[in-house]
Every structure is written in C-alpha cells, then in structure tokens.
Amino acid sequence: MESAGDDVQRRRVDQPRCHLAAADEPRDTLDRIGELVAKRRRQNVDWMWATIDDRLLSRFRASEAVRAQAGAIEDAVRAGAMSPTAAAHELLDLA
C-alpha cells in the first residue's frame, strides 16, 4: 500500500523526466526551423538557376537566326531526317 509520502517521492522522481521532455521540444522546433532554413536556401539556389535557364532560353528563342531556321529544323526532326541532338546542336550553333 502506498503512502502520501510515496506519491510525493514519485512526483519528485518523475519531475526531471518532464523537464527533459519539455527541454527536447524547443530543440526539435529549432531542428525543424533549421531544416526549413536549409531547404529554403536550396530552393533559392534552384530558383536562381531556373531564372538563368528561363532567360537564356528566352534570349535563344528570340534570336533572329534561330527563329529563321527553327521551323525547318523542327520539321526535319518530325520527319526523322534529323536527330533531336543534331537539331539542337545546329540551332545552338546559330545563336
């Protein structure tokens, strides 16, 4: 049979565990925030490269030489007369 003193003693023993669990929660939160910050930084780098890709492609497609030849080269690819790789190289050489 337990006495009132046993209950108090049990609470004293259990109390540090509660504090440890509570202390872990901010660390978990900080870890999650750190992971989000790292993810955002990776996304920012990806965004930078996507912006570069978009601008390069826009400039490439806006080239008069590319626009003049693109239709015929696309037709050659559709007809199987030119491989996609050869077509891409030919267009890239025009820019």
For residue range 52-79, list pLDDT tens digits in order. 999 999 999 999 999 999 999 999 999 9
* pLDDT of 83: 98
Report, as an integer, the average pLDDT of 21-37.
Answer: 78
**pTM, 2 dp:** 0.58
For the record, the structure tokens of 13 come out as: 């023993």
- Greatest distance between any 2 Cα atoms in the chain: 96
DSSP for residue 82:
S
In this structure, the chain runs to a length of: 95
CB 91 within 8 A of CB 62: no
